[in-house]
Structure 1
Amino acid sequence: MADYRFIKAQREGDVVTIALNRPDKLNALTPAMFGELGAAVAEAVAQGARALVLTGEGRFFCSGADIAPDGAGYEGLPEDLGALLDAAYNPFARQLAALEIPVVTALNGPCAGAGMSIALAGDIVVMGQSAYLLLAFVNIGLVPDAGATWLVARSAGRARALEMALLGERMGADEAKAAGLVTRVVADDAVLIEAQALAARLAAGPTGAMGLIRRQVAAALEQGFDATLEIERANQTAAGQTEDFAEAIRAFGEKRKPQFKGR
């Protein structure tokens, strides 16, 4: 993996772990960081990674947007925040959503603002016991962005989404799991270990089918039942013609564990 200034990227087997790496700034987001995140994800896919882990260095996963100039080239937020979303935040959100490999997020610490958007974008979300979620936007007179509105409302429902967005209060790990926002809550020192183990398990599976599953679930959140049946049919046709499915059938007949290749 390439060297980056604001993130770290490391590959182990078929899993690439990408960590936000501005711990002195609580991993606050800047356009340059989004550029590096997008480049690292694209590089991982191009090099054949079969699962991704997203996490943060230090005590925060991500504190959200960096709203203050740093005196080292970053000028803070522009006047037109919508243009900033178009240029940096939304392209990365769309890139993650369109991936054909699974994503595990490892919430090693608090996740606020757009950092919460990235945190909840994982297919499986592992959260540390002392971490928290915070839709902090209202506290500075802004609205949720980077997909947070959709992610929270679709996972936790309208009432919880409005409560979180309007009050701007912290939600602890156990409450987040009960609300359906995260998948697993583990001890703080076990977050990355658990996330990487899950990613390795996913990477060893039929990742082609997993890519179809990712898109199928996203479509199901927007489509009616009949439309979902048609999507399932099309995806099942595609999955049934893969090398992985053929391998699974052979393995079943030979009474052995299948060796999936993601093809």
Structure 2
Amino acid sequence: MTGETDTLVGEGPVLLSYGAGIAHVTLNRPETGNGFDVDLMKVFQDVVMRVHGDARVRAVILSGNGKIFSGGGNVKDFVSKGDDLPHYLRMATAYLQVCVSALVNLEVPVVTRVHGFAAGGAGLGLVCASDIVICGASAKFMAGATRVGMSPDAGATATLSKIVGFRRAMDMVLTNRIVEAEEAERIGLVTRMVPDDRLDEEVRETARLLAAGAPKAQSATKRLMWNGLARGFESALPDEARETASLSGTKDSMEGLKAVIERRAPVFRGE
């Protein structure tokens, strides 16, 4: 492997490039805040599978193009489905499960670079499914699911409380308060926070350190650490998928989604 970059996925929703033992996986839908929909998740899954089968890769950097890392699900896409949203989200959550599970099960360490917002199931879920998370000082985090009348997905109901503690996790998912970068570091949501102008350098240096490590030892260590979670990660996914699909068919869910687009406070009626 040389230090050159070889782009494998062109200008699609997810970019993949290699260099010096590191695979760079970049969310590339800046116009939607890197919002996840079925099309993006299909490509993301394919990209991660390419990485999984490539013996050259010793570490992965996951990042997002544009102003934010990821705002979660593509809200406008969800609203456009209307009455078909529950069926669509059954399919979407199935792909999302594969995506986050693929990150956890990658044999190499995943270093996630967060700038701007990491929100919603996809944004926060990917953060929770990463091995090392480095954010800029201006980064922000939010759960967001109950804000649109849904419940967390992407494995967050299993991972978030293990990372930050049950009380903090419950606060985050029920109130949807914004967690600033400094607090995110303090409570362990991220590995470390660095000044924004040092973010790229810190992420690269961390990935280089991992890429220079012992691959089999790192792979075994990662597997043991994830398997050591008190509750198995995989067991949380089916419960999340059922609840997400069910809640997406409620009037409250559609109200929450529309409120985000219309930039107003939602009015939930328990319907």
Task: Report the TM-score, using the length of structure 2 for normalisation.
Answer: 0.76
Identity %: 30
Change (3 A) 1:147 1:54: same
Q: CA RMSD in A?
A: 1.9
Deviations 1:10-45 (A, max 9, x none): 211100111111111111111111111111122123
Deviations 1:232-261 (A, max 9, x none): xxxxxxxxxxxxxxxxxxxxxxxxxxxxxx
- Rg larger in structure: 1
The one-letter code sitting in structure 2 at the alignment partner of 1:168 is N
Match of 1:10 in 2: 17
Aligned pair partner of 1:38 in 42, 45, 65: 45
Structure showing greater relative contact order (alpha-carbon pairs closer than 8 Å, 6 or more residues apart): 2
Q: 1:192-207 alignment to 2 at 5 Å?
A: 192-207=200-215
Matched pairs, number = 220
Offset at residue 176 of structure 1 (A) = 0.7
The one-letter code sitting in structure 2 at the alignment partner of 1:151 is T
Offset at residue 109 of structure 1 (A) = 1.7
Preserved contact between residue 102 and residue 207 of structure 1 (Cα < 8 Å): no
The one-letter code sitting in structure 1 at the alignment partner of 2:101 is R
Offset at residue 86 of structure 1 (A) = 4.4
Aligned pair partner of 2:110 in 74, 88, 103: 103
Q: Distance in 1 between matches of 2:178 and 2:125?
A: 14
Match of 2:163 in 1: 155
Preserved contact between residue 108 and residue 192 of structure 1 (Cα < 8 Å): no
Deviations 1:40-96 (A, max 9, x none): 1221232321110100101100000002139xxx85882236513543100111111
Match of 1:191 in 2: 199
Q: Distance in 2 between matches of 1:68 and 1:37?
A: 20
> Mean Cα displacement is larger for which, 211-220 or 176-185?
211-220
Q: Distance in 2 between matches of 1:75 and 1:36?
A: 21
Preserved contact between residue 15 and residue 203 of structure 1 (Cα < 8 Å): yes
Q: Distance in 2 between matches of 1:116 and 1:86?
A: 15
Match of 1:53 in 2: 61
Task: Report the TM-score, using the length of structure 1 for normalisation.
Answer: 0.79
The one-letter code sitting in structure 2 at the alignment partner of 1:104 is V
- Unmatched tracts of structure 1, length 5 or more: 224-263
Aligned pair partner of 1:64 in 63, 66, 72: 72
Offset at residue 3 of structure 1 (A) = 2.0
Q: 1:170-249 alignment to 2 at 5 Å?
A: 170-222=178-230
Aligned pair partner of 1:113 in 107, 116, 120: 120
> Which of structure 1's runs of 4+ aligned residues deviate more than 3 A?
74-77
Preserved contact between residue 9 and residue 17 of structure 2 (Cα < 8 Å): no
Q: Distance in 2 between matches of 1:176 and 1:86?
A: 26
Q: Distance in 1 between matches of 2:92 and 2:46?
A: 17
Aligned pair partner of 2:131 in 123, 128, 131: 123
The one-letter code sitting in structure 2 at the alignment partner of 1:206 is A
